[in-house]
Amino acid sequence: MTAPETYTMHFLDQAKIYIRSGGGGPGAVSFRREKYVEYGGPDGGNGGKGADIVFEAVAGLNTLIDFRYTQHFKAPRGGHGMGKNRNGAAGKDLVIKVPVGTQIVDDEDRETVLADLTEAGQRVVLLEGGMGGRGNASYKTSTNRAPRQHQPGIPPQEMWVWLRLKLLADVGLVGMPNAGKSTFINKLSNAKAKVGDYAFTTLRPQLGVVTHKNREFVLADIPGLIAGAAEGAGIGDRFLGHIERCRVLVHLIDISNTDPVEAMHVVEEELEAYGGDLEGKPRLVALNKIDLVDDELAAAYAKELLKAGAHEVFPISGATGKGMSKLLDAVIEYLPAATVTERPEGEREEADDKPWSPL
């Protein structure tokens, strides 16, 4: 008996798609023909409006992989006008569902952001459907009793666009390969990132939800950066866009590195070369893997990092959890105040005693 085949969801953070709204339906040319009605007159109805192209941000999606297999989206056109003054039906809008954090970018320059969907449920009408054409009944006047002109309906709009996903996270995790970022995020959440004793074990961004002192925040881990990442070295800097929206960055440095100061400068230079205001974001420097050295060496390296420009250094161990609480205390200082106050255990409100009702 063979083992059941398993499928893994692949991460895709950009995709190019073609979109076209619906054209307006043409108006009708028709004349009333009934027995015993000597002068029927025109009765051609108007065409229906074409459907819009609508983008909607939905929760629960974190990849654009679906757009690798479906790349053309064409909204239905409006219905034809008909006789007896019957108007054509409007086309049903085509709603394209994308992950929260998706940007829609113009294909011509690949820089102009047409829409930025940052909240679940947010909708944007990117292309409007064409208006339906007028039927000949609408052209009737006192001097033109039998018009034969009509409108064909406004044609659809079409374009190619790029979808770019920038994950929404509160805290971004950066560092060189083998700095221990995967172990760090696994320790704090259930992200289950791949851990290995070689460079670039992380090939795509990872998200984890961290709970600390009754506060929750989302932590994003991106592949490691090396010198020249802005020019494409290693995996490059293409995943840095996923931490552009973070409120604070945690810079993880491996204490077993031959020169932690140089490692800090390499990552800082790559963030500055990328732009996107990353160089100006608050950064917390965490000296990781202190479980491999004695306290004296860890303190000495921390002093060197402070002299090199670090605002504050947090010696931690992602494997054992040592020093993590102090680092997380500093992290939540950069997050917005909690909007929900936890009730002390055992405290109840009057509403808790009311029987449930669907009304």
- Kindly state the average pLDDT of the residues 132-155: 94
What are the b/e assignments for 265-279, b being 16+ CB within 10 Å?
A: ebbbbbbeebeeebe
Q: Would you list which residues are annotated within the binding site for Mg(2+)?
A: 182, 202
Q: Would you list which residues are annotated within the binding site?
A: 175-182, 200-204, 221-224, 288-291, 317-319
Segment among 96-100, 235-239, 299-303 with least mean pLDDT = 235-239
- Identity of the highest mean pLDDT range in 24-33, 182-191, 219-228: 24-33
What letter would DSSP give residue 130? P
Mean pLDDT of the chain: 84
Beta strand ranges found along the chain (DSSP E): 14-20, 53-58, 72-74, 94-99, 102-106, 113-117, 123-127, 158-165, 171-175, 206-212, 215-221, 248-254, 283-288, 313-315
The rounded Cα 180 to chain-centroid distance in angstroms is 26
Convert the pLDDT of each residue in 231-290 to its tens digit: 666 565 667 888 888 899 999 998 887 788 998 998 888 888 887 778 788 899 999 999
pLDDT at 324: 93
| CATH class held by domain 14-165 | mainly beta
Question: How far apart, in Å, do the first and last CA atoms of the chain sit?
Answer: 53
Asked if the model's pLDDT at residue 322 lies above 50, the reply is yes
Domain boundaries, the chain: 14-165, 171-334
Q: One fold for both 14-165 and 171-334?
A: no
Q: Would you list which residues are annotated within the binding site for GTP?
A: 175-182, 200-204, 221-224, 288-291, 317-319
Asked if the model's pLDDT at residue 112 lies above 90, the reply is yes
- Kindly state the average pLDDT of the residues 322-332: 93
**Predicted structure pTM score:** 0.74
Asked if the model's pLDDT at residue 142 lies above 80, the reply is yes
More confident residue, 115 or 241: 115
| Residue 126 main-chain phi, psi, to 5 deg | -85, -40
Domain 171-334: give its CATH architecture.
3-Layer(aba) Sandwich (3.40)
Asked if the model's pLDDT at residue 7 lies above 60, the reply is no
